[in-house]
Structure 1
Amino acid sequence: MAAQRTPRNPADGPTRERLVDAAISVLAASGPAEVKVRRISEEAGVSTITVYHHFGGVRGLLDEVVIRGYSSLRDALLDAEASDDDPGVQLFAMALATREMARSNPHLYDMMFGLSTRGTYRATTPPTPTQHHFREAYGVLVGACERMKTAARIDIDDPEQIAAQLWSLVHGFVSLEAGGHFDGHEDPVTSVLAPMAVAQLVGNGENRVRATECARTAYMRWRTVHQD
């Protein structure tokens, strides 16, 4: 569902933050093609020159949008980490948190990971000023993998290696689901994401029964919070 636009009072909040909020709102409602200086400035209740004054143009503003997205992702992953003491449950909870973020604002997610463009601008074409912000979010995932290794539940030497595998798995699933490729599945999490993630962990040394139970625990907790 498209985000509802709310009239903004120019006196409310710091101008830079209002502009980032406005850009995210426009992106959610209309997609990257409508992320334009005039549209954003109208949404924020400021003059068009304000965008150039604070960000140098749309490109600089979109870098801040992407940074905000990574910050939100990091917060969501930290919440997933705090949801359980078991690092296996944490990993599955992080997968679900990533999926939820992508579903709540797919255009923002696409821009964060280079799946959409605005004109010639591609938010994540390296090198960018946003990459270290992604690394901060990604580091939460690596931390859970490190705890799996410390507990001798995976037999891989480099925890970042399994983190990269799991991130690729989840990101691929999220992208395909967003494209409607799993529309024929009653529940893509239980039929695709969870079995795939379980198989990945088992292939790296985790016990299948324990991995399956971790996935079930994380998903049932997610359903309690998110399902109608």
Structure 2
Amino acid sequence: MVTSGQEQPARSTRERLIEAGIRLLEEVGPEALRARTVAAKIGASTMAVYTHFGGMNALLDAVAAEAFARFGAALDVPETDDPVADFFVAGNAYRTYALANPQRYRLMFGLVSPQTTHPAALNLSTPGAPVESTVGTTSFNQMMHLVERMIEAGRIRADPVADIAGRLWSLVHGIVLLEITGYLGHAEHAVTNILGPATTDLLVGMGDERSRIEQSMVHARERLTKA
């Protein structure tokens, strides 16, 4: 542990390149990232990208992995005795991260030009399908844990956990992406008129009671107000 007054250990060139890639990603977008510009950001030559990553595509994969790691950290919310409220707090963290880092979000989910895409991390449509990459699996596991807790609390029916997590992730992802691209108007409208009601309707369809969901929303708002 580093205490006050102690120096942080120097980051490696690889770590500095990833951090530079993340910063430039938000400034210019993934399609405009070049080995030369990323290397220049840390005062290195273009060769540094090839020495540590073998090329720009591998650096972009590393940037996506780091973006997902930070995404997962944002979704790691404290657990309470109300798992649905916990889900709403995590959902707010999801949306906040995506809106604050739109270019990073595009890269994470492959919403970029063909030359900058990375292999899909998960196959949500085929039960038992092999996972080819660990990118994104931690975030999905966090979603499944929330689902498991909602099932154990008797709030929703016990469909396969991965299926429910996929439904919830698809709903939040789709709405957030539409918000990022400007199709849902101002932020308050997107939450109060679209995301909130859609999530409530899905949970009601899964067996929860609308009145209990509304109370969980109140609990979530109280936590977010205090944060």
The TM-score bracket by the shorter chain reads 0.7 to 0.9
2:104 aligned residue: 108
Aligned residue runs from structure 1 range 1-228, under 5 A: 12-78=10-76, 80=77, 82=78, 84-117=80-113, 120-125=115-120, 131-183=133-185, 186-225=188-227
Kindly tell me: are residues 110 and 130 of structure 1, through their superposed partners in 2, closer, same or farther at Cα, counting changes over 3 Å?
Answer: farther
Asked whether the 8 Å contact 1:198–1:215 carries over to 2, the reply is no
Output the CA distance in 2 between the equivalents of 1:185 and 1:100.
11
Output the CA distance in 2 between the equivalents of 1:173 and 1:106.
13
Give the deviation of 1:126 after TM superposition. 6.4
Asked whether the 8 Å contact 1:107–1:116 carries over to 2, the reply is no
**Secondary structure of 1:69's match?**
helix
Output the CA distance in 1 between the equivalents of 2:141 and 2:133.
12
Output the CA distance in 2 between the equivalents of 1:185 and 1:54.
40
Give the deviation of 1:98 after TM superposition. 1.0
Partner deviation per Cα, 1:53-82 (whole Å, 9 max, x = no partner)? 00001111011111111111111111x2x1
Asked whether the 8 Å contact 1:66–1:130 carries over to 2, the reply is no
Output the CA distance in 2 between the equivalents of 1:224 and 1:106.
26
Cα RMSD after superposing both structures? 2.2
Asked whether the 8 Å contact 2:30–2:116 carries over to 1, the reply is no
Work out the number of aligned pairs and report it: 212
Kindly tell me: are residues 27 and 130 of structure 1, through their superposed partners in 2, closer, same or farther at Cα, counting changes over 3 Å?
Answer: farther
| TM-score (norm: length of structure 1) | 0.85
Letter in 2 for 1:42: A
1:3 aligned residue: none
Asked whether the 8 Å contact 2:121–2:134 carries over to 1, the reply is no
Output the CA distance in 2 between the equivalents of 1:224 and 1:191.
23
1:7 aligned residue: none
**Secondary structure of 1:120's match?**
helix
Output the CA distance in 2 between the equivalents of 1:34 and 1:162.
37
Asked whether the 8 Å contact 2:102–2:180 carries over to 1, the reply is yes
Give the deviation of 1:131 after TM superposition. 3.2
| TM-score (norm: length of structure 2) | 0.86
Output the CA distance in 1 between the equivalents of 2:158 and 2:34.
46
Kindly tell me: are residues 186 and 141 of structure 1, through their superposed partners in 2, closer, same or farther at Cα, counting changes over 3 Å?
Answer: closer
Asked whether the 8 Å contact 2:30–2:103 carries over to 1, the reply is yes
Output the CA distance in 1 between the equivalents of 2:205 and 2:61.
37
Output the CA distance in 1 between the equivalents of 2:56 and 2:36.
10
Asked whether the 8 Å contact 1:88–1:214 carries over to 2, the reply is yes
Give the deviation of 1:187 after TM superposition. 3.0
Asked whether the 8 Å contact 1:113–1:124 carries over to 2, the reply is no
Partner deviation per Cα, 1:145-188 (whole Å, 9 max, x = no partner)? 10111112111331222111100000001100001011157432
Give the % identical residues: 35
Consecutive aligned runs of 4 or more in structure 1 exceeding 6 Å deviation:
none
Output the CA distance in 2 between the equivalents of 1:146 and 1:181.
33
Q: Unaligned regions of 5+ residues in structure 2, if any? A: 1-8, 123-130
